[in-house]
Amino acid sequence: MSFTPYLFFSGNCAEAFRFYGDVFEAEPQVMTNADVPEGEGMPDAPPSTVMHAAIEFRGGFLMGSDDPTGDDGPKVGFSVAITAADPPEANRLFDALAAGGTVTMPISETFFSPAFGMLVDRFGIAWIVDTAPAEG
């Protein structure tokens, strides 16, 4: 069993997944309302509405879509957590995700992680970036 974050956006899912593709160096897969058979898409949604988007990163997935009923309000009550291979990668991911967003806890060494930080990206998604502690 595995858990996969599925994020909802209000019309900017394709832009967000292009951004995440750059950050995670992965090719985003994006299916819009225009890409599905007639009558199978989101009712009353524009053709550019994203029905499903995904990127694969180290065997895990990040998925999402546009929510045509969404009010584009703040996304609260969750964070997407990513554990980087090492502190340099954690810093790279953190800095990339933070571009245009808000850092809520700068990335730094803690008693439980060599690199830990929190931010809200420019799409309103909260992220936790860390690394696993050294063995021993």
The mean pLDDT value for 41-59 works out to 89
- Please, are residues 32 and 47 in contact by the beta-carbon 8 Å criterion? yes
What band does 39 get if pLDDT is binned at 50, 70 and 90?
A: confident
- For the domain covering 80-131, report its CATH number: 3.10.180.10
Provide mean pLDDT across the span 63-92.
88
User: Strand 6-9 vs strand 60-66: parallel, antiparallel, or unpaired?
Assistant: parallel
Per CATH, domain 6-66 is 3.10.180.10: yes
For the chain, the domains span 6-66, 80-131
* pTM of the predicted model as reported, rounded to 2 decimal places: 0.90
The yes-or-no answer to whether 6-66 and 80-131 have a common fold is yes
By DSSP bridging, strand 80-84 and strand 126-131 are parallel
Per-residue pLDDT at 136: 53
